[in-house]
Amino acid sequence: MAEKTVSEMTEEIAQKSGKTPEEVKALIDTKVAKFSGLLTENGAAYMVQKELGIRQEITIQTKVNELSEGMKGVEMKGEVTAVFPVKEFEKAGKKGKLKSFLFSDGTGEVRGTLWNDQVEKYDLTRGSEIELLNAVVSVYNEKKQITLGFNGTINILNKKEEEFEKLSNLKAGMNGVNIFGRIIRKFPCKEFENAERKGKLCAFQLGDESAIMRVTAWNEKADEIMAYEEGDAVEILGAYTKEGRFGVEVNLGYSATIAETQRKVAGTPEIMKENVKEKKINALVDGESAIILGKVANVEKGNFFFEVCKKCGKKAQRTGNGVLCEKCGETEMKKNAVVSLTLEDDTGSIRASFFGENALKALGMNQEELESALNGKQTDVLLAELNGKLGGKEMKIYGYQKTNNFSGEPEFSVREIIG
């Protein structure tokens, strides 16, 4: 159906509002003048119609390149080109959350923001076609953005499920890439500054069963990477690829997202099976990844738990005013399991350190069971029980040898229990 002309809309508004066509035309001209010619007459007529409380039979869609600060009652149709992670905040003692997305209709791209209850209400995915009803246009950091006005809503017209690529299928020059895998190795983050800009980058290796590839996260995304450890399974949405020093590389720009994945991901030893060898304990070399097979000779005395930041998983410290994390600021603590076992084979023995889920798996307990055992028994009693339970048990583990900073003795840092 063809879009109504300005004259037709003027007559319709006049009839339904009780105003004369001349009065309606004056209101439309005022709107056009207010937005310095950036608003079309049709768009202005539509805004006048909205403000007078008249429902139109045919929707007039506003285009991204027609948006101007202060516009209200905007209706748009287009595609979600990126969805950003949810952010939590606190203002004036009240907690809230927001989720941003990028919206495009072919004439341009604009950032949209969902607030609080809207975040859970609208499950937006990249590539989905949506319709925005009763949106408001504002400016933040000199860039236009859209939010939902009172009674505003989003209709998801065609939801697109995310499609993921195998790492081996990636070629240079791809955009909007979705991948998942396991973090094999993290490299030290770097800060840089040149004539054009300054920023930060963090690189890491990501692997799936098909390949291992270098991934670089830039600026804000670099900070997000710091929350993940080697061995974590993650999924990345909206990345791009380019040719790098070591072949095709994946890059995380401002519109990419990274999060823990619930998808089935191969274990690190399987991913690295061509590069990681099984070794005897006396053949281990500092810094070299390896697989060892040994029997539990002893469960070492320790605290079984250490406290970390609940948000990012990094070390945090308790102060007189609460808990402080260098990355997240004020936060809450959570407990991570930790245990050290002495493993031995026919060539020697080594202390192996297990953390988090690996520690719980080594002990054969879940978090609740371990906490309950610690609360109900003295540590020495629990330790004796664990030695009786685990003593002589055969374990195959993947990790690397390093020198303990305090004892100066070699120890094996476990990344994964095999089998």
**What confidence tens digit (pLDDT) does each residue in 125-162 have?**
888 899 998 899 999 888 999 999 877 889 998 888 77
Q: Give the residue-averaged pLDDT of 77-103.
A: 87
pLDDT given for residue 299 in this prediction: 96
Residue percentage of the chain with pLDDT more than 90: 43
pLDDT above 80 for 323: no
Does the 276-417 domain belong in CATH 2.40.50.140?
Answer: yes
pLDDT given for residue 392 in this prediction: 96
pLDDT given for residue 55 in this prediction: 63
Pairwise CA distance, residues 234 & 334, whole Å: 21
Which residue, among 158, 183, 20, has the nearest Cα to 77 in the 3D structure? 158
pLDDT above 70 for 360: yes
For residue 291, the one-letter residue type is I
- The 3-class SS string of 293-315 reads EEEEEEECCCCCEEEEECCCCCE
pLDDT given for residue 2 in this prediction: 41
pLDDT given for residue 409 in this prediction: 92
pLDDT given for residue 275 in this prediction: 77
CB 280 within 8 A of CB 391: no
CA triple 253-257-259, angle to 5 deg: 140
Condensed to tens digits (0 to 9), the pLDDT of residues 272-307 reads 887 788 999 999 998 888 999 999 999 999 889 888
Q: Give the residue-averaged pLDDT of 378-390.
A: 92
For 227-292, give the DSSP string: T--TT-EEEEEEEEEEEETTEEEEEE-TT-EEEE--S----HHHHTTTT--B--GGG--BT-EEEE
SS3 47: helix
Categorize the per-residue pLDDT at 364 as very low, low, confident or very high, splitting at 50, 70 and 90: very high
* In the chain, where the domains are located: 1-60, 67-161, 167-268, 276-417
CB 228 within 8 A of CB 272: no
pLDDT given for residue 37 in this prediction: 61
Highest mean pLDDT among 78-87, 208-217, 252-261, 342-351: 342-351
Condensed to tens digits (0 to 9), the pLDDT of residues 230-244 reads 889 999 998 999 998
Categorize the per-residue pLDDT at 328 as very low, low, confident or very high, splitting at 50, 70 and 90: low
- State how far the alpha carbon of 114 is from the alpha carbons of 87, 157, 198, 236, in Å: 11, 18, 30, 21
pLDDT given for residue 250 in this prediction: 96
Categorize the per-residue pLDDT at 38 as very low, low, confident or very high, splitting at 50, 70 and 90: low
pLDDT given for residue 303 in this prediction: 86
pTM metric for this prediction: 0.56
pLDDT above 50 for 1: no
Categorize the per-residue pLDDT at 377 as very low, low, confident or very high, splitting at 50, 70 and 90: confident
Residue percentage of the chain with pLDDT more than 70: 95
Q: Give the residue-averaged pLDDT of 68-94.
A: 86
**C-alpha count within 13 angstroms, C-beta hemisphere, residue 255:** 19
Q: What is the rounded radius of gyration, in angstroms, for the C-alpha atoms of the chain?
A: 29
Residue 400 zone, left/alpha/beta (φ > 0; ψ -120 to 50; rest): beta
Does the 67-161 domain belong in CATH 2.40.50.140?
Answer: yes
Fold agreement (67-161, 276-417): yes
Question: Among 48-57, 115-124, 223-232, whose mean pLDDT is lowest?
Answer: 48-57
Condensed to tens digits (0 to 9), the pLDDT of residues 191-228 reads 888 777 788 999 999 999 999 999 999 988 888 888 88
pLDDT above 80 for 72: yes
Class of domain 167-268: mainly beta
Pairwise CA distance, residues 267 & 264, whole Å: 9
